[in-house]
Structure 1
Amino acid sequence: MTSRPIVPFSEPPYLAGLPSPYYKPTHLAWQKACREFIEKHLLENALEWDTLETLPEHVFATFAKTGMLLPSLPAPLPVAWLKRLGIHELLGVVKVEDFDYIHTLIYSDEMARSGLAGPSGSLTTGMSFGVPPIIKYGNKQLQERYLPELLTGKKRTCIAITEPSAGSDVANISTTATKTPDGKYYIINGTKKWITNGIWSDYSSMAVRTGGSGPTGLSMVVVPLKGYPGVTMRRLKVGGQVSAGTTFIELDDVKVPVENLIGEEGMGMKYIMTNFNHERLTIAIGATRTSRVALAAAMEYILKREAFGKPLVDQPVVRHRLAKCGAMLESQWAWVEQFVYQMTQLPKETADIELGGLTAMVKAQSGIVLNECAQCAMLLFGGNGYTKSGQGELIERKCPPQTPLLTLCLGVIWALLTSYPRNIS
């Protein structure tokens, strides 16, 4: 908690001095340590690096060396593996065996405090979404081959599901993995698009079609990327989080040992859907903090901006607009906190099923809230919010004309189409 005055809406209630039933002393110590580390090594230069569209390599190296990529994994952490690799605690304040989803919430919230998805996404997306299928479903030999380097950040990975003609429609993925006549290799052909972190990744946890049409024909395979025969990658310029390295991947007769199969053939849809739960939740946390950054920036601006002979904050219509967004924001944060608490109280296997649909909804709702808060900030900043430099630069970056509506539409569509893992046989 802080005793100094803060801008309204700039911090979640538990950091603004209000009581909360969720946060134990270990969580508060973790928040303090996280903020200090992330501010120093990421946030101080996040806007500059996002403008340059790439983080310097030393940033990833610093996060990897200190174990600060690991909190992006689903909780509980892979304790046995981490201890085997000599990792017993994070930032000296939380033991790996004590790490729960509230620690995850704090980490994800702190990583998003720049208000930009790209800088944090460039660091964590591969660890957060690409490594878990290997941990959860990979057999011993697969884990032995890949986890030591991936968990320590010596190698990088990504999750490769989306294709030019199959994004939310996961069941219609067309990239094929056909076994050679001797049964020793998969020959992979197809394309993957909008793959975050792909351009920097040594490997990918990739969705491929090993069987017939529909969800039962899907599998997941670890596919080498950088410099691997038959793999061509190029970076895509996108309207948001450009610094996260969105990538187009072409696969032309890529030969991969069958030992790279994650789990069992034909189970890929189930693996993908359960993996989405963690992805959706961390996106919801980040989007909610991004809403907070936008609204707090607008609040700070109207306190000093004068128009028609008085500060903007004295205009009732301005206060009404902020209050409406503030109510949405704090309601969304309360839902996120409640949801994360439920994650700490349920066995992981139960949570994957019981909370699957709710995870999709909390993510979709975070897009709706972000849309409102970003639009509000842009409206109140006026011309300054449309300028790529100066006091409105962050708002312009967060809210180009198409971004809020796009975020909303994608969030809702994704939720409706991919809500319920329990329906996957």
Structure 2
Amino acid sequence: MSLTNPVIPFSEPPYIAGLPSPYYSESHLRWQKACRAFISEHLLEQALEWDTEETVPEHVFTTFAKRGMLIPSLPAPLPVEWLKKVGIHELLGVVKVEEFDYLHSMIYSDEMARTGLAGPSGSMTTGMAFGVPPIFKFGNRQLQERFLPDLLLGNKRTCIAITEPEAGSDVANITTTATKTADGKHYIVNGSKKWITNGIWSDVSAMAVRTGGPGPTGLSMLVVPLKGYPGVSMRRLKVGGQVSAGTTFIELDDVKVPVENLIGKEGMGMRYIMTNFNHERLTIAIGATRQARVALSAAVEYVMKREAFGKPLVEQPVVRHRLAKAGALLESQWAWVEQFVYQMTKLPKDVADVELGGLTAMVKAQAGMVLNECAQTAQLLFGGNGYTKSGQGELVERIYRETPGIRIPGGSEDVMLDLGVRQLVKNFKAKTKAMERPKGSSKL
């Protein structure tokens, strides 16, 4: 893109606005253009209308599934063997599945969030993004063969089911139980799950259950059938934002699940969950940063044309000051996201989980704070129009209303900030201990 092309301030990441960047290859740039074209045609134009109606039509999910455009929501690197096995070799004809890295993933999440809303994209991708990875990462071969083909092709839908009415960020204390039958052939699942995105449409879920005693070592993960399954009842929840994402309350009453549906090993659920959280939190951070960009750039465009006291609002120093404060936060956040994702492309998965796990929590928390500042700034600058659920400020009003849906789900903000520092301190202590001279050693 030429540097001479006019771009509304704060409306695009610098690399799209034409500025040089060390991160992106030709593959990434081709992917961004292809993503933008596809998403603009099939999601962007009607996203606000669908979100107002609180449901994205089923045909949109089907279109994305048939074109393989749910797959990019998975963590990179992709499950190449399984994708090729089900006939998916490339995405939009521009990226081979084996070439897809976390920068491609970031570009996809950023483009999907250009609607300015988390609901429309989340209604389609949340199950794929967070419900499928535990199966291909930790499930055995028979489990993968039974579920992955239909899930990867979008023939069936799934969700991640962890949160409970009394256990949100406190994952270690979930109470939904899975008790083996006397013959050892089934688990009987009892309990409830709350705020489960996509749950209402899901055929199955990757669910956190308690198979053992209290605390994290008693947790496991199961593939639990949902829609239409005996003992399962589901209802949609009315939430303040992301209304089209299908937030669901699930009740489980003596639900009979084959033991073959165990993901990995009993007692390893907490490890699987926390590994999965890293991708969830990073995806939230990317999307929230773009939402902040949509809100703030809309405000810039508005104040350049809106006149008050005989001149455009942008000529008021107080208006420029507000935009500058929010814009500085936004571009700093995006620079951190880019740096973070680049590191993900260079570090082995096990190293990234340790070195970046705490930082993932922090970048997610920071994204919510930046979104809050940008959305609030936009709403204030739109004035009464930004407080109205229709008209030219409708999208800004909706984005600001959605802000708590970024700051709470995926790990509440204060919990994330605390977790981030605790993990950094833990890593420092571990490295310091590893450098200590063993007792009895004469080596300096």
Structure 2-normalised TM-score? 0.93
Matched, 1:344 2:340: no
Matched, 1:292 2:293: yes
Structure 1 CA distance, aligned partners of 2:366 and 2:414?
11
For 1:291-333, what per-residue CA distance to the aligned partner results, in whole angstroms no more than 9, with x for missing partners?
0000000000000001111100000010011001110000000
Structure 1 CA distance, aligned partners of 2:356 and 2:385?
41
SS in 1 for 2:75: coil
Match of 2:241 in 1: 240
Match of 2:263 in 1: 262
Change (3 A) 1:155 1:421: farther
Change (3 A) 1:153 1:372: same
Q: Which has the larger radius of gyration?
A: 2
How many residue pairs align between the two structures? Answer: 422
The answer as to whether partners of 2:210 and 2:220 remain within 8 angstroms in 1 is: yes
- Report deviation, 1:421: 7.6
Structure 1 CA distance, aligned partners of 2:241 and 2:83?
33
Match of 1:164 in 2: 165
The answer as to whether partners of 2:284 and 2:406 remain within 8 angstroms in 1 is: no
Match of 2:71 in 1: 70
Q: Specify the code of the residue in structure 2 equivalent to 1:387.
A: T
The answer as to whether partners of 2:208 and 2:221 remain within 8 angstroms in 1 is: yes
Structure 1 CA distance, aligned partners of 2:407 and 2:241?
14
Structure 2 CA distance, aligned partners of 1:205 and 1:20?
38
- Report deviation, 1:181: 0.5
For 1:51-102, what per-residue CA distance to the aligned partner results, in whole angstroms no more than 9, with x for missing partners?
0000111000000000000000000000011111111100000000000000
For 1:94-126, what per-residue CA distance to the aligned partner results, in whole angstroms no more than 9, with x for missing partners?
000000000001000000001000000001000
SS in 1 for 2:194: strand
- Report deviation, 1:348: 1.2
Identity among equivalent positions (%) equals 78
Match of 2:392 in 1: 391
The 5 A counterparts of 1:5-404 are 5-400=6-401, 404=403
Q: Specify the code of the residue in structure 1 equivalent to 2:16.
A: L
The answer as to whether partners of 1:69 and 1:123 remain within 8 angstroms in 2 is: yes
Q: Specify the code of the residue in structure 2 equivalent to 1:92.
A: G
- Report deviation, 1:4: 3.0
The answer as to whether partners of 1:179 and 1:185 remain within 8 angstroms in 2 is: yes
The answer as to whether partners of 2:372 and 2:403 remain within 8 angstroms in 1 is: yes
The answer as to whether partners of 1:375 and 1:404 remain within 8 angstroms in 2 is: no
The answer as to whether partners of 1:274 and 1:421 remain within 8 angstroms in 2 is: no
The answer as to whether partners of 1:111 and 1:120 remain within 8 angstroms in 2 is: yes
Structure 1 CA distance, aligned partners of 2:131 and 2:79?
14
Change (3 A) 1:83 1:406: closer
The answer as to whether partners of 1:131 and 1:205 remain within 8 angstroms in 2 is: yes
Q: Specify the code of the residue in structure 1 equivalent to 2:328.
A: A
The answer as to whether partners of 1:168 and 1:417 remain within 8 angstroms in 2 is: no
Structure 2 CA distance, aligned partners of 1:226 and 1:82?
25
**Structure 1: gaps of 5 or more residues:** none
Structure 2 CA distance, aligned partners of 1:344 and 1:139?
26
Structure 1 CA distance, aligned partners of 2:378 and 2:168?
30
Structure 1 CA distance, aligned partners of 2:355 and 2:272?
16
The answer as to whether partners of 1:270 and 1:421 remain within 8 angstroms in 2 is: no
Structure 1 CA distance, aligned partners of 2:388 and 2:359?
38
Structure 1 CA distance, aligned partners of 2:173 and 2:210?
9
The answer as to whether partners of 1:10 and 1:296 remain within 8 angstroms in 2 is: yes
CA RMSD of aligned residues (A): 1.5
Structure 1 CA distance, aligned partners of 2:200 and 2:106?
27
Structure 1: 4+ residue segments shifted above 3 A: 403-411, 416-424
